[in-house]
Structure 1
């Protein structure tokens, strides 16, 4: 089992995680959201045998990983898929190759965490799944046997994220002020990942670039920043954009979550 990374305290500055060029070279490129090709990887599981996996994780989703629609569908990945946090929120289908104990069904997982070292050493393409997600790859009567295998060979492919009835939400992180504003993006369907993020004050026509902080968290230093704010997301994989107008009100507060009326599949 792996112990995964968990979020630390927010600092007062925005900073980028650096993804080493060697990891990018070793990563297998997946250029389309609905990738028709299966790619080889390995997989393990962690937590309780029928459990939901992470409590929090390196993407910063916190308690969201314990409730639907994420519950039991979460997974940690090696650095080549985690991409310094930019891979957070992406969805993959993962399928076991052992026809003796595995079903033909693939399990769909959402990336919420990174698993460093060991099975997830640099250069490897590896999934460390919740016990429940791992077991779902097996024929029902063989779930315990599959988990007893430990590391197994799998194939995977990118797939659109789907959150029926959910729109994109923005959680204002603790410590945010009128001069340092940090947002966590929740329930982004479609690509699931974020390539860039911009914010605009109601009194301005200028979109201000936010910086990737860590995981699925972004921030901006300025000020004083005055709401209400519109937020524009551009996905990492296919560069699709969506603008949530006035989604964060003028009387916003830290630790509050504001839900838009939009999603990429809406």
Structure 2
């Protein structure tokens, strides 16, 4: 059984107006940024669909990890070296040392270079810091469904899960889990980045999972997505995703 709901939450609705920010880059000039990051996606940042479309953000956008997975369009303002097109990036990390009050994007080298006019990618990287504008945009992962990665160290008494590939809002504001023998949805605790956990026990699978997005309160529920004999480090893919 699958349940897909949409809740109107005007106060949390993504703002589609462009806002001002600054941007830098990190990692290799043509690379996908550092492996891992403060969201916990690990090696996923190096492969599609994340590859070359990732970035770290300042605390105002990172939101203590609840901003992980959100997608933004970023556009450079210097018409001499910058393209008119915006680059879409997925938040996978927090920018260390960035101002807590101002919006800042620390992009992968590849994403930063894509802000440039053709042939000017080296020059734009040499600038170091760019003035940019940005806005939220729906995340799109063609062919992907929401997936649940059971983190290493999970047991029948402490279960930790990383959320992957959420279309639409991209972010997660709350997560609930339900054992097969129960009718009660139990709220999970946000650990860090895109990681959530539940403490109890012994916990008995299979587990149903319900996600609620941070931005608009949309809810996605899936039944028995994590099997009875689940394994740490395994990833379990659902059959549904949010609508972008």
Please list, as runs of the form range in 1=range in 2, the aligned pairs for 1:153-172 lying within 5 A after superposition. 153-172=131-150
CA RMSD of aligned residues (A): 1.1
Residue 31 of structure 1: CA displacement? 4.4
Question: Which residue of structure 2 aligns with residue 66 of structure 1?
Answer: 46
Residue 123 of structure 1: CA displacement? 1.1
Q: Given the alignment, which residue of 27, 32, 42 partners 1:47?
A: 27
The one-character-per-residue Cα deviations of 1:107-162 (angstroms, maximum 9, x if unpaired) are 00000000121xx1221210000000001011111111111100010000000000
Question: Which residue of structure 1 aligns with residue 72 of structure 2?
Answer: 92
User: Match of 1:76, SS?
Assistant: strand
Please list, as runs of the form range in 1=range in 2, the aligned pairs for 1:17-32 lying within 5 A after superposition. 31-32=12-13
Question: Which residue of structure 1 aligns with residue 5 of structure 2?
Answer: none
Question: Which residue of structure 2 aligns with residue 199 of structure 1?
Answer: 177
The one-character-per-residue Cα deviations of 1:210-247 (angstroms, maximum 9, x if unpaired) are 00000000000011110000000000000000001110
Residue 54 of structure 1: CA displacement? 2.0
8 Å contact 2:145–2:166 — kept in the other structure? yes
Residue 94 of structure 1: CA displacement? 0.2
For the pair 1:105 / 2:85, whether they are aligned, the reply is yes
The 1:106–1:88 alpha-carbon spacing in structure 2 relative to 1, beyond 3 Å, is same
For the pair 1:79 / 2:59, whether they are aligned, the reply is yes
Q: How many residue pairs get matched?
A: 234
Q: Which runs of 5+ in 2 are unaligned?
A: 1-10
For the pair 1:146 / 2:127, whether they are aligned, the reply is no
Question: Which residue of structure 1 aligns with residue 228 of structure 2?
Answer: 250
8 Å contact 1:79–1:116 — kept in the other structure? no
Question: Which residue of structure 2 aligns with residue 20 of structure 1?
Answer: none
Structure richer in strand, relative to its length: 2
Q: TM-score, normalised by structure 1?
A: 0.86
Q: 2 CA distance for matches of 1:204 and 1:31?
A: 31
User: Match of 1:63, SS?
Assistant: helix
Q: Which runs of 5+ in 1 are unaligned?
A: 1-29
The 1:194–1:107 alpha-carbon spacing in structure 2 relative to 1, beyond 3 Å, is same
Please list, as runs of the form range in 1=range in 2, the aligned pairs for 1:199-218 lying within 5 A after superposition. 199-218=177-196
User: Match of 1:145, SS?
Assistant: helix
Q: 1 CA distance for matches of 2:201 and 2:27?
A: 43
Q: 1 CA distance for matches of 2:164 and 2:16?
A: 27
For the pair 1:184 / 2:162, whether they are aligned, the reply is yes
User: Match of 2:21, SS?
Assistant: strand
Question: Which residue of structure 1 aligns with residue 3 of structure 2?
Answer: none
8 Å contact 2:12–2:217 — kept in the other structure? no
8 Å contact 1:54–1:74 — kept in the other structure? no
Q: Given the alignment, which residue of 16, 19, 25 partners 1:36?
A: 16
Q: Given the alignment, which residue of 200, 205, 210 partners 1:222?
A: 200
